[in-house]
Amino acid sequence: MKIKLSIYRGDRFPPEVISHAIWLYHRFCLSFREVEDLLAERGITVTYGTLRQWCQKFGPEYAQRLKRRQGRLGDTWYLDERFLTIQGQRQYLWRAVDQDGDVIDILVQPRRNQRAAERFFRRLLNSAGSEPRWLVTDKLRSDAAAHRTVIPSVIHDTTRDADNRAEGSHQPTRQRERSMRQFTSPTQAQRLLTIHGLTQHLFRVGRHLLQAVNHRRVRARALLPWNAVACA
């Protein structure tokens, strides 16, 4: 019981309220002020500044726990990079997903050269714990150079449109970026997008592929790991 309560020690709000507020913010494209209004409708008075502090304090811990519960990832990795404009400077969001669309890892970097690609590849190996069987990227030369240096034994596919799965995974990030009117710093973007990606994956249940009764079951099942990592 001490482990469950340790991260909330000193907070006057119960874990159920804190975890629900963080869930609202990362599950939907809501601002802190909108989450504040939703909680106020339930009779919970919290300022948007407090909500921001909760996400900064508990979000990384939630992300680590969700990552540990993610299970074994696929053996085909899809990589893609997208630029972000942060305080007038161009940054690059590196993202990797497997064949099921599960996020392996993301990394915000100011460059997309060979050194940046090698750094991301080694981060992926450390995160996944093993090498993939297939690596699918676009024709960026940095990816090819990093592949030859870090994981030369892995099959590398650069066929046109082969990495569409990775490109499509950027859509929730673009939605979040528009709702926030850009990120404030690379550190903030890294922290937020890590927990945001894991949350979106957890509740991505494919509604259009399921009957209503099955959708309700899958949705209820998705809430179990969230409540477990939030200790709520």
For 159-194, write each residue's pLDDT tens digit: 988 888 887 777 777 777 777 777 889 988 898 888
Distance CA 132, CA 126 (A): 12
Q: Which of 174, 164, 195 is nearest to 79 (CA)?
A: 164
Q: Show the tokens assigned to 136.
A: 């699918």
The verdict on residue 194 lying in a domain is: no
Does residue 159 belong to any structural domain of this protein? yes
CB-CB contact of 195 with 26 (8 Å)? yes
Give me the residues paired with residue 81 across strands.
94
- Same domain (yes/no): 123, 180: yes
Give the range among 4-8, 42-46, 52-56, 136-140 with minimum mean pLDDT.
4-8
In a domain, 190, yes or no: no
146 and 97 in a common domain:
yes
Looking at the structure, do residues 127 and 223 belong to the same domain, yes or no? no
**Based on the domain organization, do 104 and 82 belong to the same domain?**
yes
The answer to whether residues 176 and 80 belong to one domain is yes
- On whether both 99 and 174 belong to a single domain, the answer is yes
Asked whether residue 47 falls in the same domain as residue 108, the answer is no
Residues 175 and 107 in one domain: yes
**77 forms bridges with which residues in the sheet?**
98, 135
In CATH, what number is assigned to the domain containing residue 83? 3.30.420.10
* Domain match, 154 and 208 both: no
Examine the domain organization and report whether 83 and 113 are in the same domain. Answer: yes
Instruction: Count CA atoms within 13 Å of residue 92 on its CB side.
Output: 12
What 8-state DSSP symbol labels residue 73?
P
How many domains in the chain? Answer: 2
Looking at residue 3, what is its pLDDT?
43
Q: What is the mean pLDDT of residues 146-153?
A: 94
pLDDT at 1: 39
The residue range of the domain holding 49 is 2-68+202-230
Answer yes or no: do 94 and 177 share one domain.
Answer: yes
Establish if 193 belongs to a structural domain: no
